[in-house]
Amino acid sequence: MTDVLSERSSRVVSLAKLHRTAARRTEKRFLVEGANAVYAALATDRARSVLVRDDAEQRFGELLDRARAHRVPVHRLSDRAAAKLAETTTAPGVFAECDLLTVDLDEVLAGSPRLLAVAVEPREPGNVGTLIRCADAMGADAVVLLGDAVDPHNGKAVRASAGSVFHIPVVRESDTTAALSALRAGGILTLATAADGELSLDDADDVFTGQVAWLFGNEAHGLPDTLLADADHRIAIPIHGEAESLNLAAASAICLYAAARIQRRRSASSD
């Protein structure tokens, strides 16, 4: 075990910079906090180092043993150093320095994905993290973030994903048009969520039998009209109460479940 690192140590100063998108991009690293995220980072061999607040070492003993078993260096932090790295008011006291997670769209398409969650210019980190978590839970093959999207390595996004950011491929593509063209070239149907869609989600089971990509718009403006027009199907989520709409996280959970249910049923019947 190393000496206790202070808030002024070069390692802590360097890691604290990873709270900024530009630094993460330059260093090709990001920081996670909390036991669940650190366990997930270790399980997927993404952790470069683990850091624990000095007074929390015993509490996270099992986790630290896991890190050592994976030959991941463990460092102790002073209270002030831990506070400098934390992004939450009640910091858990354990962190991991990790390699970035994003993958190329071509790599995902090469695997003939059955179900993709595609968000167009999402800006709210919590919603992106929840989308990743929902996609993971529903067995989707990947999450694709298009255009000027929030960084999925953002601390709030990582926490909202509850570890799922380590379980499912996440793609970032700045060129929305090119990415959607690549999906179609791969034989994937694009499904746009739209309040005035020509097809109700309740009646869309036949659409889900092949390879599909759900398109979700951002929180403020939804999907651009051009993308709605170009989608293979525009599908409406029935709303029976007084709510006018659903946010990205809620809509994605409903739509991904609907598609995954049909795909699992078809897969089971063909076995």
Same-domain pairing of 151 and 226: yes
Same-domain pairing of 11 and 47: yes
Last residue within a domain, chosen from 55, 73, 99: 99
- Note down pLDDT in tens along the chain; length 271 residues: 568 999 999 999 999 999 999 999 999 999 999 999 999 999 999 999 999 999 999 999 999 999 999 999 999 999 999 999 999 888 789 999 999 998 999 999 999 999 999 999 999 999 999 999 999 999 999 999 999 999 999 999 999 999 999 999 999 999 999 999 999 999 999 999 988 899 999 999 999 999 999 999 987 788 999 999 999 999 999 999 999 888 889 999 999 999 999 999 887 776 5
CATH number at residue 68: 3.30.1330.30
Question: How many domains does the chain contain in total?
Answer: 2
Beta strands (DSSP E) in the chain are 4-5, 29-33, 47-53, 74-77, 94-99, 115-120, 142-146, 170-173, 189-193, 199-200, 212-216, 233-236
**The predicted structure's pLDDT at residue 271:** 58
Same-domain pairing of 186 and 110: yes
**The predicted structure's pLDDT at residue 221:** 81
Last residue within a domain, chosen from 99, 130, 155: 99
CB 54 within 8 A of CB 4: yes
Domain membership of residue 69 as a residue range: 4-99
Last residue within a domain, chosen from 46, 71, 99: 99
CATH number at residue 248: 3.40.1280.10
